[in-house]
Structure 1
């Protein structure tokens, strides 16, 4: 594996894992107790296989099909927001009611922005998108099991939002945010 791919692989693992771990520590600070993800070996194996298959299937749809087609018409940023909205709605996570759904969807939109940036930087590497998605799900199971509350969704939206702000500052003059020839900026 060449160094460039390794750099992006490390990023695809480190960023979502770091965001989940930071969110977990903040929850603990606010005394939202840690609940361990417990089961026997078969439980873990089946969950990991299901997560991997689910993440790969979703990424084929979100970033393998939808994102590239949207980017033909819109900027990568706008396209990633559209994908994020659809992805958030797809999960229909109403933990915490309507406000919880909105906060969860905001986090998914932010994650979609970060993933779309990585997708474009790696010439559409779906393996890296699956690794990111899987890392997010697996670390959520390890660190946030049974802690899905409005507090968590608020914290995650802030944590992922801060990363999106860093991305905006770093890439504000790039084609990620600006329309290219033939695209429509929304």
Structure 2
């Protein structure tokens, strides 16, 4: 029997503040656990003396990986355990490994999403990609290795367990699917704010300052609409959401090789291409982003 995504499972109903407000508890924990890890880095960068004024790789990567694992993933596991117990944890795990979906979802996630990034650069820059710069067929192997590393170390795997695996189904039980994607996109984007203290991360994410942050937030919201459509269409498959998220991140590591660096590292091309895709999906699905009207997806 299908279980509504945020309805009580087979365990007895639990009481308490977390059980009454699971979404609030999740976002508070996700922010707190991640930002606590990032705090010494931020304070050091701003001159508080906890750390040197810069955190060099690989320390930056370890710091980000720890913050992501403790934040979205840790918060999802803790709140699920407190509200739905083992049955809820099994359901969350089932969504993570849900791979039996149409092959079209895999093709769209692995090929369509990177093509959107390339299309955005082409349209905004008015230039064609220099595919010869990729170095021929051998590029596919290096891209595959990079893809796996980005998925596991870069954040998509452990972020999506929380954002899409836990939060989105519950938001969609309370809000219209489009509103749920918007709220999640905003909260997802703002969670990244401490990372703007890392110059390398900031440069790869469209730049810093108020304008750069605003562009990043707007772009993340468009990603949220697109990823919500994938997640809902693939029957709450966190695996598909991870592949979409990874494709977005991996594509931004490739575009600087085939487009002028200033264009490839700008948030504007992604905002244009994914913004257009989000508008099309909202119109075609009448705002439901692939969510069935009965909302009964286990």
| TM-score, scaled relative to structure 2 | 0.49
2:214 to 94, 102, 111: 102
Q: Which residue does the alignment assign to 2:175?
A: 74
Larger Rg: 2
* Unaligned runs of at least 5 residues, structure 1: 31-35, 38-42, 182-186
Aligned pairs, how many? Answer: 172
Work out which structure has the larger RCO, using CA pairs closer than 8 Å and 6 or more positions apart in sequence: 1
> What is the aligned-residue RMSD (CA, Å)?
3.5
Q: Map 1:1-186; keep pairs closer than 5 Å.
A: 5-26=102-123, 28-29=125-126, 48-53=147-152, 54-92=155-193, 93=196, 95-144=207-256, 147=261, 152-172=266-286, 175-176=288-289
Shift of 1:47: 5.6
Shift of 1:26: 4.2
Between 91-100 and 134-143, report the one with greater CA deviation.
Answer: 91-100
- Change in Cα spacing, 1:149 to 1:22, as seen in structure 2 (3 Å) is closer
SS at match of 1:152: coil
2: CA distance, partners of 1:48 / 1:159: 21
Between 12-21 and 138-147, report the one with greater CA deviation.
Answer: 138-147
- Change in Cα spacing, 1:176 to 1:75, as seen in structure 2 (3 Å) is farther
**Residues 23 and 159, structure 1, Cα contact 8 Å, conserved in 2:** yes
Q: Which residue does the alignment assign to 1:33?
A: none
Give CA deviations for 1:62-109 in whole Å, capped at 9, x if unaligned: 100111111121111111111111111122246241111111111110
1: CA distance, partners of 2:123 / 2:215: 16
2: CA distance, partners of 1:28 / 1:151: 12
Between 91-100 and 150-159, report the one with greater CA deviation.
Answer: 150-159
**Residues 150 and 156, structure 2, Cα contact 8 Å, conserved in 1:** yes
2: CA distance, partners of 1:48 / 1:150: 18
**Residues 181 and 228, structure 2, Cα contact 8 Å, conserved in 1:** yes
- Change in Cα spacing, 1:148 to 1:110, as seen in structure 2 (3 Å) is farther
Give CA deviations for 1:117-138 in whole Å, capped at 9, x if unaligned: 1111111011111111111111
**Residues 23 and 152, structure 1, Cα contact 8 Å, conserved in 2:** no
SS at match of 1:60: helix
2: CA distance, partners of 1:106 / 1:152: 13
Shift of 1:45: 9.0
* Unaligned runs of at least 5 residues, structure 2: 1-98, 128-132, 135-141, 197-201
